[in-house]
Structure 1
């Protein structure tokens, strides 16, 4: 039985990586999707790969009109809006994020805007539309285990960690406020997953040896984008109708594993 039949879902950051994998799975489960990304070529390729139940919208998640426009496209193209999956975000390391004593003002602001401001704007747009509809709905935000389970040896990007921690607090706060309106808001928190953002760690043999002990499930490996899809389907489906304000770690065991870098030096 398909779990998302007749749902229309907007995915912010849906043209590559985790968002694209989720978009394909959502469509397989019966949904229609609007996928949002900054690169027009990626958006076109993603739409073609997914098929007729997907449309793309080219826009920057940080811009205030991007999420409302994507939601409007969902309404005009598919006649409804049922869920928002905010995946967009990433590392600010190249822009000046890192350990606190090295973070630049520019690196801080860039990373906060990329991971937190964009999410605030998409969540606001979704809640405004859900309230207008009076129908409730589901929002799923992308967090990270680094927001609550730091790893100082190899993953010391303190602005990134701060934004991901803030996402959890923000989500819980708005979930509590809008529960009376039947609006569900939850967080999905992965550990190291194979994405363009993770290439630095994925190509470092020392870090990969650490990951084998920090993420020991399934033989000890990096996550795959598809590892998150079933959880995302759950939160977008009516199966989560009694779940809000929760964070689910899909992390290969990161949150409960020590990680044995000390033995590898």
Structure 2
């Protein structure tokens, strides 16, 4: 079987754990060089060992303007090219005060938008500037969520998070429209509940797990696995998607088309 990503050099913001690390492994298996960025120095070291010689890991905070720029510079320096950006970084603002609107704190709102939307704007901006500076096209893939357009009011009531993930879609479509003439394509992957470090509250709650069996009924009714998104991520980073931009691909086990039983 051919390798879909041979000759591609890709930066993954939030690539040292969970969905990002799983995608990085898939990219490397498909022939890509990768630079993965994570906040935790330990996870960066582990990722670099895990991914092997086609990878470099860089410690950085996605909410800081320089982080994505530095990672892209490293990618060009080490691998001679920069072809794609996958923005996975984000997180729950629950512990900062995100929740139902009548309980939502301003800190919860600001922190959640910063984590999930501002960080993404910064990485997308760095990628677009790099593509234009290199005078070439490229691919950007942004991490959305089904909660951005398919709410679940009983167990998943974080309204700032839903707003941020909804905004990811609007932002992506808007920049996809503008930069299409530069041959830069920008798309969104939208998962439902996936087993990641961020999802521990839900994955360890018996009542939520029972709900998920009927809300995500595909493949026996289960939580998503990071690897469930790998094929889609490979597609969007590859030349097979060279005529696809401004799209949202939902990988949710059926979440957005089922009721879910309490």
TM-score by length of 2: 0.99
| Distance in 2 between residues matched to 1:72 and 1:197, nearest whole Å | 29
2:65 partner SS: coil
| Equivalent residue number for residue 41 of structure 1 | 42
Aligned counterpart, 2:11 = 10
Residue-by-residue CA offset, 1:165-198 (whole Å, 9 max, x unaligned): 0000000000000001100000000000000111
Supply the distance in 1 between the matched residues of 2:75 and 2:51 (Cα, whole angstroms): 16
Q: Give the structure 1 partner of residue 88 of structure 2.
A: 87
- In structure 1, how many angstroms separate the alpha carbons of the residues matched to 2:68 and 2:201? 30
Whole-angstrom distance in 1 between the partners of 2:9 and 2:69: 14
> Residue in 2 aligned with 1:76?
77
Displacement of 1:255 after TM fit? 0.9
Who is 2:141 aligned against?
Answer: 140
Following superposition, the deviation at residue 225 of structure 1 comes to 0.3
Aligned-partner Cα distance in 2 for 1:13–1:234: 19
SS of the residue 1:76 aligns to? helix
Distance across 2 between alignment mates of 1:207 and 1:39: 29
Superposed CA offset, 1:40-59 (max 9, x none): 11000011011000001111
1:212 corresponds to:
213
SS in 2 for 1:100: coil
Q: Structure 1 segments of 4 or more deviating over 6 A?
A: none
Q: Which structure 1 segments of 5+ residues have no match?
A: none
The corresponding residue for 1:171 is 172
* In structure 2, C-alpha distance between the alignment counterparts of 1:28 and 1:158, rounded to whole Å: 37
3-state DSSP of counterpart to 2:5: coil
CA distance in 1, matches of 2:192, 2:223: 8
Task: Give yes or no for the alignment of 1:161 onto 2:162.
Answer: yes
Task: Return the offset for 1:133.
Answer: 1.4
Q: Which runs of 5+ in 2 are unaligned?
A: none
RMSD: 0.4
Hey, what does 1:53 align to over in structure 2? 54
Aligned position for 2:239: 238
How many correspondences in the alignment? 261
CA distance, structure 2, for counterparts of residue 194 and residue 247 of structure 1: 21
